[in-house]
């Protein structure tokens, strides 16, 4: 199940199940979105991205869905494995003049995979 | 063959000291960033440099001074360290272009202020 509180929201799943991690973003002008995975003691690692002209993109075992109407992003992981246990962040890209951009990160969701 | 490397990985120091963190990327990117991650895992951008030029400064106290000697390096110097500076600092890089590209992160520098 999923819990939200003072600690990082945690999603607990059984190995082999599918996982869905949700994210709400804030800026209607955001044109590019990225999901990152952060393992303990490591930096955020790129998983998959999606541009605002798309509503779905698939990678290997992962799918990102984008709903611009409600400013919602989700990451689906198929057949979740113990190695998927990590903190997952969504990030929205905000572009500004000069071709520059910055990423605004969501709060993160901890995925705990149980055997 | 590390893409974005930061040193040191751990930094423990006393309040009031001055310290530096170094970052190097070998991806050929022209834009580099510093992020701060607090104890709740919240990641927030601090600075961005493009080809040695400061692009973003997210109202970070002026005790923090980034320096970019060339486009492959972005160092962070912090003066008069305070307890609230304890965090993990991440360096990242990306390539500026017409189409957005993901940022690549280093493994962080964990700064602990005593």
Q: What is the pLDDT of residues B28-75, one digit of tens each?
A: 999 999 999 999 999 999 999 988 889 888 878 999 999 999 999 999
Provide mean pLDDT across the span B98-111. Answer: 90
Residue B98 is predicted with a pLDDT of: 65
Residues 4-33 of B with CB under 8 A from A: 4, 31, 33
Q: How many residues does chain B have?
A: 114
Q: Are the beta carbons of A104 and A94 closer than 8 angstroms? A: yes
Higher pLDDT, A75 or B101: A75
Residue A1 is predicted with a pLDDT of: 39
Does the CA dihedral B23-B84-B45-A43 come out positive or negative? positive
Residue B1 is predicted with a pLDDT of: 62
Task: Tell me which of B96, B100, B110 to substitute to probe the interface with A (most A C-beta atoms closer than 10 Å).
Answer: B100
With CB atoms and an 8 Å threshold, state whether B96 touches A32. no
Nearest to B41 among A87, A95, A103 (CB): A87
Low-confidence ranges of chain A (pLDDT < 70): 1-7
Lowest mean pLDDT among A53-67, A84-98, B76-90, B94-108: B94-108
SS3 of residue A110 by DSSP:
strand
| Residue B71 per-residue DSSP state | T
> What span, in angstroms and rounded, lies between the C-alpha atoms of A107 and B40?
8
Residue A63 is predicted with a pLDDT of: 98
Nearest to B100 among A38, A46, A101 (CB): A101
Residue B110 is predicted with a pLDDT of: 97
Task: Determine what percent of chain B is predicted with pLDDT higher than 70.
Answer: 96
With CB atoms and an 8 Å threshold, state whether A100 touches B48. yes
Q: Which helix (H) or strand (E) holds B85?
A: none
Look at residue B26 and tell me whether its pLDDT is greater than 60: yes
Residues 48-67 of B with CB under 8 A from A: 48, 50, 55-56
Would you place residue B25 in the very low, low, confident or very high pLDDT band (cuts 50, 70, 90)?
very high
pLDDT averaged over every residue in chain B: 93
């Amino acid at each position: 199940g999923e819990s939200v509180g003072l600690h990082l929201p945690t999603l607990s799943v059984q190995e082999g199940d599918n996982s869905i991690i949700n994210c709400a973003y804030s800026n209607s002008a955001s044109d590019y979105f990225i999901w990152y995975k952060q393992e303990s003691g490591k930096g955020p690692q790129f998983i998959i991205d999606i541009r605002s002209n798309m509503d779905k993109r698939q990678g290997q075992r992962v799918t990102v869905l984008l709903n611009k109407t409600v400013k919602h992003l989700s990451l689906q992981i198929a057949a979740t494995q113990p190695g998927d246990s990590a903190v997952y962040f969504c990030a929205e890209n905000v572009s500004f003049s000069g071709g520059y951009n910055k990423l605004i990160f969501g709060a993160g969701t901890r995925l705990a995979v149980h055997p | 063959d590390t893409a974005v490397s930061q040193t040191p990985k751990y930094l423990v120091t006393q309040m009031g000291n001055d310290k530096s963190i170094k970052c190097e990327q070998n991806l050929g990117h022209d834009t580099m960033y510093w992020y701060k991650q607090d104890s709740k895992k919240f990641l927030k951008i601090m600075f961005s440099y493009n080809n040695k030029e400061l692009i973003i400064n997210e109202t970070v106290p002026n005790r923090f001074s980034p320096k970019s000697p060339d486009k492959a390096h972005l160092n962070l110097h912090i003066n008069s360290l305070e307890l609230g500076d304890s965090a993990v600092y991440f360096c990242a890089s990306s390539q500026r272009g017409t189409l957005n590209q993901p940022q690549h992160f280093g493994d962080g520098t964990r700064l602990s202020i005593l």
